[in-house]
Structure 1
Amino acid sequence: MNVLRTISRAWHSVTRGKNSAVGTFRPEDFYGLQPRSAHAYREQFDVAENFTCAIGASVEPINWIDKTVINDETPSIIEPMLMAAGITDLRQSKAQCLKWSAYLVPHVERAFGIRAILTIGQLWRENDPLFNPTWEQFHRLHEEGFSLEDFGKNGTGFNFHAWITLETGEILDFTLLSSLADAVPKKWGEMAGTVVGGYPEEVIKHHQYVPMVLGLDFAHTLNKRSPVALLAESTHDLPKLPMFVAAVPI
């Protein structure tokens, strides 16, 4: 298992939302694509923190620390961490970003000795969204959970991505490359089982992470209010796809 660090700087980032009350967030306030500084992700994260609290989910305020923890030594931290968590094959994480990211948050915190936050939101490739949930969708998911209709003909399914943010502003994404490898094997196949790690402005060329909602409390509430289990209680649960996901093309 390798750690993919800085490949190339992404030239697109997002603007900070202008409001903090439920119903006033608009995606266009949030992802106006334009070159931004290295601090853009932290600004986006602050908006996500405000939104999370506004919809009634619990997340502790983050206190950013100015240091870098993902470096050439990171594989020597991540590999034993995954082994201790009972994970031997990250390729099984494909299309299960929420379950795997939520499960790994406490393991990442112990391994790196700093705070790690489950982060859920949009993922863009240049000007094209790979996942583009709205504020309204996250608000509804927190209130009602998923329904079977979400995965029907007119539903949007799992239209979001999840990863882990460290309090340094760096991210760890344990699932994206395995998902891309499964979906586009000719282009990404050799990257299956690889971890994305580093500053989000830099980790994968032309891809941009946009945090929108934060924390395990949101994930547990969503799981409780949905008809099937979305989270893992043990490593035994990690490879299992929810019933309605297995039946729908991803």
Structure 2
Amino acid sequence: MTAIKRTQNFDLSLPQIHFSKGKLLTDELHSKFPFMLRDEVGEIGIEELVGECLSIHLRLREPLSRIVNAPCIYTIGYVETAERNMFHQTDESLKALLRDGMQNLTLNIHAWLTLPTMEIVDFSLPTTYAVVNRDQQGVGAIIANHPDSLVRGLKYHPMLVGESFLRRIGALKDFFAL
């Protein structure tokens, strides 16, 4: 709810959001998930996941919405682990990005998809973490769970919803085919 209010307070476009109770990420869906995703978008390479959370989650939002039969919310924020905060942002740092735009080609921010049940689906963090830390165990893994059920001190901190922030700071452009 704080991310929704912050998005409004920053005068950013707010996507339509419909919350629901229950769980969309069932054990049955978990077992079919990789195959359903592959059928929707094809094979996804490691290079499309490592450090590409902004683009991959935009690309996968609609296919995931079809798979779970519910709208997914593009969510921007940071992740807390037992060791440290990753991609940490504050209100002040987000406001500075809105005021100044992107000043270089890198952006220390994270994105994931949130289901109407508040379950989190993150396609990129496990692979990025595994590659950066030279640990093959996490390559290709997906975080798909309710925030209350995450383990090992992992916490997601949503800061904004929707992609209008990325458009405003110049991290996302619209392209039109002729």
Same fold per superposition (TM over 0.5)? yes
Per-residue deviation, residues 10-61 of structure 1 (Å, max 9, x unmatched)? xxxxxxxxxxxxxxxxxxxxxxxxxxxxxxxxxxxx1110111111211135
Aligned partner of 1:244 in structure 2 is none
1:115 aligned partner, one-letter code:
P
| Pair 170,83 (structure 1): closer, same or farther in 2 beyond 3 Å | same
Indicate yes or no: 2:38 matched with 1:89: no
> Conserved in 2, the CA contact under 8 Å of 1:77 and 1:112?
no
> Conserved in 1, the CA contact under 8 Å of 2:15 and 2:161?
no
Report deviation, 1:185: 2.0
Per-residue deviation, residues 163-186 of structure 1 (Å, max 9, x unmatched)? 110001101000001001101124
Aligned partner of 1:173 in structure 2 is 122
> Conserved in 1, the CA contact under 8 Å of 2:48 and 2:56?
no
Indicate yes or no: 2:19 matched with 1:64: yes
Select 2:98's aligned residue among 127, 133, 142.
142
Larger radius of gyration: 1
Find runs of 4+ consecutive structure 1 residues off by over 6 angstroms.
none
Report deviation, 1:91: 5.8
Report deviation, 1:139: 2.2
Aligned partner of 1:236 in structure 2 is none
Report deviation, 1:126: 2.8
Per-residue deviation, residues 72-131 of structure 1 (Å, max 9, x unmatched)? 222314422233213333563011111111111111111111111111112111362122
**TM-score for the superposition, normalised by structure 2:** 0.85
Select 1:104's aligned residue among 51, 57, 60.
60
Q: Once the two structures are aligned, what percentage of the paired residues are identical?
A: 24
Distance 2:151 2:121 in 1: 12
Aligned partner of 1:20 in structure 2 is none
Gaps of 5+ in 2: none
Per-residue deviation, residues 126-173 of structure 1 (Å, max 9, x unmatched)? 36212211112222323443112xx6xxxxx42221111000110100
Gaps of 5+ in 1: 1-45, 152-156, 234-250
- Count, aligned residues: 174
2:23 aligned partner, one-letter code:
T
Distance 1:107 1:90 in 2: 19
| Pair 231,181 (structure 1): closer, same or farther in 2 beyond 3 Å | farther
